[in-house]
Amino acid sequence: MTRLPVTARYQVGRFEVTVISDGYIDFPFDWFTGVTPDQAKQATEAVHAAGKNGVRSGFSTWLINDGERYVLVDSGPAGTVSSTSGYLPETLAALGVKPADIDAVILTHAHIDHIGGMVAGNRNNFPNAEVYMDRRDIKTFTNTSIAARAPEITKSSFAATEQLVRLYPRMQPIDGERQIAPGLSVFDLSGHTPGHIGVRIEDGGESLNLVADMLFHPAAHPALPGFGIIFEMDKAAADATRARFFAKAAEEGALLAATHMPFPGVGRIVKDAGALEWQPADWTYGA
Ligand SMILES: [Zn+2]
C-alpha cells in the first residue's frame, strides 16, 4: 500500500506551519520511568492507545514558511529508532520543497528521533541551512566521557550529534532565549535533555509553541509529570520541568504542538475539576 504524505497545516499570523508526520513507533512499555511496565500498559489501554508492543506515538516535525524563508524544526528519526519512520524527505518533496530550499533548521534537542534526519546516510541533508541547537546539548552529546557512562539506548544520539557537528559547520549554538527571525524565537525547556528548547511562533496576536518532548502521550501527560522515559539522563530535572511547564501552560491557555502526541499533536493543557488534561485543538479548516 502506498503511504500518502501525512501533513496538517495551520496559519499563525503570517506564518504557515505544516506539521509533517515522520511516522511512528510503539514505545515499549518498559522504556518508561516513574511507572512499572504494567502501569504504562494499563494507562494506555485505558485510552485505547496501546500499539502491538507498546505506547503508539508519532514523530512530528514542523515546516515553517514566513513567506520568505523555510524553517524546519526537528528532522525525525529517519528510520533509526523505528522502521516505521523516515518519511520527511518524501513528504517535503510532495510539498514541493527541496532540501536545498530549507534556510534554517532549529533542533529542539539532541535525541536521535529529532536529529536523525539531519545526518541520515552520514550526509549533510540540508546543505543551505543555518542550524540552531542549544549549546548544552551540543556539549553533552559530544562529550566522550559522558557518552561512555550513558545508557546503551542513548548511544545513537551521541553518535548522531557528533555527525551533526561535523557535517554542519554552520551550526549556531544557542544560549537561552533567542530570536531566530522576527516572530520566531526559542525558549528554555531544559530537563528532558540539558538543552531541550521550545520554539515560539508569534504574529498578529496569534501564537503556537512547539514544545517537542514536553508531553509524550495523553495517557500520561499532563496528568503525570513523573512519567518519564529512559532516555532522560536527569529524571528529577525532567519531572520538575514538566510539572512547572504543565501548570504554566494551563494557566496561559497556550496553543502547543508536541512531537509525540497523536498527530497532529496540536492542543492545549486545560484544568478539569482540578486535574490537568490534554485538549486537542479543533481542526481550523484554514490554511
Ligand atoms: Zn522525542
Cβ of 86: how many Cβ atoms within 10 Å?
19
- How far apart are alpha carbons 270 and 278 in whole angstroms? 6
Q: How far is the CA of 77 from the centre of ligand 1 (A)?
A: 9
Q: How far is the CA of 113 from the centre of ligand 1 (A)?
A: 5
Tell how strand 32-33 and strand 15-28 pair up. Answer: unpaired
Residue 218 pLDDT > 80: yes
Percent of the chain residues past pLDDT 70, beyond the cut: 99
* Whole-prediction pTM: 0.96
pLDDT computed for residue 46 by the predictor = 84
89-138 pLDDT, tens digit per residue, is 999 999 999 999 999 999 999 999 999 999 999 999 999 999 999 999 99
58-98 pLDDT, tens digit per residue, is 999 999 999 999 999 999 999 998 899 999 999 999 999 99
The protein residues having their C-beta less than 5 angstroms from ligand 1 (an ion) are: 113, 213
pLDDT computed for residue 2 by the predictor = 77
Q: How far is the CA of 212 from the centre of ligand 1 (A)?
A: 7
pLDDT computed for residue 274 by the predictor = 86
Q: How far is the CA of 112 from the centre of ligand 1 (A)?
A: 8
Q: What's the gap between Cα 284 and its chain centre?
A: 22
Q: Which residue did the predictor score with more confidence, 210 or 40?
A: 210
Residue 50 pLDDT > 80: no
178-200 pLDDT, tens digit per residue, is 999 999 999 999 999 999 999 99
Q: Which domains does the chain have, with CATH numbers?
A: 7-280 (3.60.15.10)
For residue 59, give the nearest of 80, 38, 44 by alpha carbon: 80
Q: How far is the CA of 110 from the centre of ligand 1 (A)?
A: 9
The mean pLDDT value of the chain amounts to 94
Q: How far is the CA of 24 from the centre of ligand 1 (A)?
A: 11
6-33 pLDDT, tens digit per residue, is 999 999 999 999 999 999 999 999 999 9
pLDDT computed for residue 239 by the predictor = 97
Among 45-49, 228-232, 252-256, which stretch is predicted with the lowest mean pLDDT?
Answer: 45-49
DSSP sequence for 164-205: HHHH-TTEEEE-SSEEEETTEEEEE-TTSSTT-EEEEEEETT
pLDDT computed for residue 124 by the predictor = 98
Which residues face 27 on adjacent strands?
A: 55
What amino acid occupies position 189?
A: L
pLDDT computed for residue 49 by the predictor = 76
Please give the grid coordinates belonging to residue 283: 481542526
- How far apart are alpha carbons 267 and 280 in whole angstroms? 4
Q: For residue 287, name the pLDDT band (cuts at 50, 70, 90).
A: low
